[in-house]
């Protein structure tokens, strides 16, 4: 048990007062005892003198024997009347014992406490005729001393008890006021602003202190209400901003505990409600069972504050096949006190896939360009060096191969140029054109390719197709791309169906190209129009840049306000199409 300074002072005061009272009591007892002894001594002296004078008077005319009897009778009568006298002893002028009378009320062995002697003097000639010795037991002094000590002790105990009671009562009153004040302070420290102290039967000074406390509590309550309202508003604003951010945001305190995360972070990390709140972020496990944040957060925590501020930690994590770019940045107060960190999650799956497709595109283009260039170079070199040795048919075959490779090379270069041109914001020129005539023209251009695959094209056109405003070259390239792909993927001896029809309810004209090829799985159909994307499967061996269908989409949707679509089932063929609005002007729909 620990003692406070106040308790120590109270105990010290109580001990000091006890010692002081004891010292006073001892001093008083000693003085009283001393005075009693002196008074008793004087009392014995008086008795012995009186007895000496009386003895001289009653024996002045008596003989020796008579003197003995007289002294005996007189001393016995005195002993009977005074219980405190132990003995009376008479001696002559030579010190010879004349008579020794002892009080029968006292034990023989009891020794007197005080012995007093007085001379017996002859009054006539003033001569010494003997002496009287009186022995006193001191019982009266003992009784008086005992009574005195008991009285003093009783008074001491009463005074000490009263003094201690007064101290305890005073201490209780003081501590009661302090307890009341302490309870009030505890209420305030726990956030119970507005709490009032009801002080009754307290001193004016303490009542003033209580009043000041109540006033402070009321002011704090008003301030808290205003402050809470402001803080709530600011917190709601902050949460609204965080929740509206398209990227995931995870806020952690200085102990790695998650204190806030927005809905996008929950979706990216595949969390349910507040599953990660108030838990350690390092305990989060990704879909592969790895503690994906642990190492990087430990790396981040080893950095100095300057390094954390100037160089955030950036890394990628994988959640269910999606790639999330994670950026750890420090979080400071207005006073620049470090209070935790923020993890920003950005879904870079598409960008990563695009980077991969770009890399594949560059590799494919390099390979695709190298092949026709190599063929052209080898065939031209052969014709140049050995052309005179070839017959006409061989030369025609060589020239046909050269023409095919040149067309292929030109097509790839045109795709790349069109990609750069159409993906830009530059406008392309448009004018009224006959879409029906364009379909016939494109079909005629690809008929030369049908013979190699033993294919047929069946064209079905509505008769009421109106004139449309479009860029003839761009739309022709888009339709040619559909036809070329259909020829590439259509099986031998099959028919490619081309349809041109008007959709009056949608105010548009639609062109579709259907083949009977290998088809496209549903999971790939949404991606076939993306740039650089090429469907790869065990039956797919057709080479290309992966830009053709993306150029179709850009041409139709971006520059002609139409839309592209694909309908396909694996092993059941595919239908690619596009629709153009019937009426628009200056690139804007009427």
- Per residue in 311-370, pLDDT (tens digit) is 888 888 888 778 888 888 888 877 788 888 888 888 888 777 777 766 665 665 665 566
Residues 178 and 216: their CA atoms lie apart, in Å, by: 17
Among 417-426, 443-452, 580-589, the range scoring the smallest mean pLDDT is 417-426
- Is the predicted pLDDT of residue 538 greater than 60, yes or no? no
pLDDT bin (cut points 50, 70, 90) of residue 15 is confident
Tokens of 422: 């159409």
Q: What percent of the chain has pLDDT over 90?
A: 7
Highest-confidence segment of 62-66, 206-210, 417-421, 503-507: 503-507
Mean per-residue pLDDT, 553-568? 87
Q: What percent of the chain has pLDDT over 70?
A: 81
Residue 294 has a pLDDT of 86
Q: Which has the higher per-residue pLDDT, 352 or 576?
A: 576
Q: Which of 245, 278, 250 is nearest to 344 (CA)?
A: 250
Task: Name 118's bridge partners.
Answer: 132
Tokens 């002894």 sit on residue: 37
For 52-98, the pLDDT digits (tens) are: 787 777 777 777 677 777 777 877 777 777 777 878 888 877 878 87
Q: Which has the higher per-residue pLDDT, 177 or 446?
A: 446
Sheet with 313-319: strands ordered across: 258-261, 248-253, 338-347, 322-332, 313-319
Mean per-residue pLDDT, 230-248? 71
- Is the predicted pLDDT of residue 217 greater than 50, yes or no? yes
Mean per-residue pLDDT, 25-46? 79
**Beta strand 97-102 pairing with 114-121:** unpaired
Q: What is the DSSP letter of 558?
A: I
Specify the 3-state DSSP secondary structure of 520.
coil
Residues 130 and 421: their CA atoms lie apart, in Å, by: 163
Tokens 């917190």 sit on residue: 235
Sign of CA dihedral 532, 536, 541, 542: negative
Residue 159 has a pLDDT of 78
Residues 418 and 100: their CA atoms lie apart, in Å, by: 161
Which residue intervals of 304-348 are DSSP H helices?
305-310
């Amino acid at each position: 048990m620990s003692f406070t300074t106040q308790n120590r002072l109270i105990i010290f005061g109580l001990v000091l007062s006890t010692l002081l009272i004891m010292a006073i009591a001892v001093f008083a007892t000693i003085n009283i005892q001393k005075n009693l002894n002196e008074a008793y001594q004087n009392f014995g002296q008086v008795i012995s003198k009186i007895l000496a004078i009386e003895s001289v008077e009653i024996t002045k005319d008596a003989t020796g024997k008579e003197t003995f009897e007289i002294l005996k009778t007189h001393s016995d009568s005195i002993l009977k009347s005074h219980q405190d006298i132990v003995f009376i002893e008479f001696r002559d002028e030579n010190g010879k014992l004349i008579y020794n009378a002892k009080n029968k009320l006292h034990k023989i062995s009891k020794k007197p406490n005080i012995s007093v002697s007085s001379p017996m003097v002859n009054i006539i000639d003033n001569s010494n005729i003997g002496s009287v010795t009186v022995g006193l037991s001191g019982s009266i002094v003992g009784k008086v001393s005992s009574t005195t000590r008991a009285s003093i002790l009783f008074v001491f105990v009463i005074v000490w008890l009263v003094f201690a009671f007064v101290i305890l009562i005073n201490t209780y009153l003081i501590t009661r006021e302090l307890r009341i004040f302490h309870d009030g302070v505890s209420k305030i420290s726990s956030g119970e602003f507005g709490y009032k102290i009801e002080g009754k039967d307290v001193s004016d000074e303490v009542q003033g202190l209580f009043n000041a406390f109540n006033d402070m509590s009321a002011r704090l309550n008003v301030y808290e209400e205003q402050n809470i309202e402001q803080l709530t508003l600011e917190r709601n604003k902050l949460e609204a901003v965080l929740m509206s951010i398209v990227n995931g945001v995870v806020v952690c305190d200085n102990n790695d505990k998650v204190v806030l995360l927005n809905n996008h972070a929950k979706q990216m990390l595949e969390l349910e409600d507040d599953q990660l709140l108030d838990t350690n972020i390092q305990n989060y496990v990704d879909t592969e069972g790895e503690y994906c944040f642990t190492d990087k957060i430990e790396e981040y925590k080893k950095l100095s504050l300057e390094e954390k501020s100037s160089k955030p930690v950036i890394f990628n994590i994988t959640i269910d096949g999606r790639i999330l770019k994670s950026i750890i940045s420090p979080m400071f107060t207005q006073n620049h006190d470090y209070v935790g960190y923020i993890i920003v999650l950005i879904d870079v799956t598409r960008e990563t896939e695009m980077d991969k497709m770009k890399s594949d595109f560059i590799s494919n283009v390099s390979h695709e360009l190298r092949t026709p260039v190599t063929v052209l170079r080898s065939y031209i070199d052969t014709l140049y060096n050995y052309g005179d040795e070839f017959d006409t048919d061989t030369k025609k075959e060589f020239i046909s191969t050269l023409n095919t490779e040149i067309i292929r090379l030109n097509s790839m270069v045109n795709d790349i140029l069109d990609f750069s041109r159409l993906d830009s914001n530059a406008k392309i020129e448009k004018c009224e054109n006959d879409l029906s005539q364009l379909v016939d023209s494109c079909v005629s251009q690809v008929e030369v390719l049908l013979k190699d695959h033993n294919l047929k094209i069946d064209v079905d056109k509505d008769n009421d197709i109106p004139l449309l405003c479009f860029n003839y070259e761009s739309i022709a390239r888009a339709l040619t791309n559909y036809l070329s792909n259909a020829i590439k993927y259509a099986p031998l001896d099959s028919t490619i169906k081309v349809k041109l029809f008007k959709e009056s309810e949608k105010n548009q004209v639609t062109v579709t190209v259907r083949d009977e090829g290998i088809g496209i799985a549903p999971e790939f159909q949404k991606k076939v129009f993306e740039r650089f994307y090429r469907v790869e499967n065990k039956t797919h061996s057709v080479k290309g840049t992966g830009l053709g269908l993306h150029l179709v989409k850009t041409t139709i949707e971006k520059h002609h306000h139409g839309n592209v679509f694909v309908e396909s089932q694996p092993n059941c063929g595919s239908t690619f199409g596009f629709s153009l609005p019937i009426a628009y002007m200056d690139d804007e729909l009427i």
